[in-house]
Structures are given as C-alpha cells and as structure tokens.
C-alpha cells in the first residue's frame, strides 16, 4: 500500500509570527509546511517534493529576491511560486513574471484568497 503524501508548501518570510501563522493555517488545510527566514536558506536546504509550492516574501533588495526566485525556478521547475509583498508598483507584475513567479499576493492578505491561489496552483 502506498503512502499518501501531503502537498508541501515552503513558506519564506523574515517574520517569525507570519511564518508560524501561515504554517498553522496551511497544516489545518492538510498541507505539509516547511518554514524558512530567507530564500538563500531555502536554496541551500530545501528539496521540494513533486507536489509543492513556494510561498515567499519579496524581501529588499528586490533585485536580489528576483534573482533568487529565478534560481529556484530553474532548479525546481515543477514548483509553483507565490510571492507575498507589502509593496507594489507598476513594474512589480512584469518583474515577477520574468522571475518565474506563478502568482503574487499583497500583504496584508486574506487567508481565503491565499488558499484560492494555492489550490489553483496545486489541486489536491
């Protein structure tokens, strides 16, 4: 009998409280959740399973975050990328598209909206 593995969401945010609350919400919804404080740490320590998604805060400097997202996308093309941001300008959507992000959500956000995006990227 094969074991059913929950889809994994990798949460990246520099705020402990944000990481913990997102982890709790996602685990209640049946996801496995891994948390990290930075994108470089994810690239060093995380190997996403087939059913996975990266939920990452866009951290300053933005150019560095976008480059790290591109590296993540090249390494793990099967993984959806959702970018969380507290700021947005006219160029954000284009920059995120070029970085390989699948979706963007603006902070503060409603968890129902976040779950809709996740379920669209990773049907369970």
| Helix (H), strand (E) at residue 45 | helix 39-45
What's the rounded Cα separation, in Å, for the pair 54 and 1? 29
Q: In which residue are the tokens 């990773």 written?
A: 122
For the stretch 100-109, pLDDT in tens is: 889 999 889 9
Strand order in the sheet with 52-57: 32-36, 8-12, 52-57, 80-85, 103-106
Q: Where are the domains of the chain?
A: 8-119
Q: Structurally, what CATH architecture does the domain formed by 8-119 represent?
A: 3-Layer(aba) Sandwich (3.40)
The model's pTM? 0.89
Reported as a single tens digit per residue, the pLDDT across 40-87 is 999 899 888 888 999 999 877 777 888 888 888 888 888 899 999 876
- For 4, the 3-state DSSP assignment is coil
């Amino acid at each position: 009998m094969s074991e059913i593995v929950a889809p994994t969401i990798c949460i990246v945010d520099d705020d402990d409280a944000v990481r913990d609350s997102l982890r709790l919400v996602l685990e209640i919804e049946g996801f496995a959740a891994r948390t990290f404080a930075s994108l470089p740490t994810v690239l060093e320590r995380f190997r996403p399973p087939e059913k996975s998604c990266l939920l990452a805060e866009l951290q300053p400097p933005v150019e560095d975050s976008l480059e790290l997202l591109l590296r993540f996308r090249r390494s793990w093309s099967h993984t959806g990328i959702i970018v969380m941001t507290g700021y947005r300008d006219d160029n954000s959507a284009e920059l995120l598209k070029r970085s390989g992000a699948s979706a963007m959500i603006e902070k503060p956000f409603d968890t129902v909206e976040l779950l809709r995006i996740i379920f669209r990227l990773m049907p369970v």
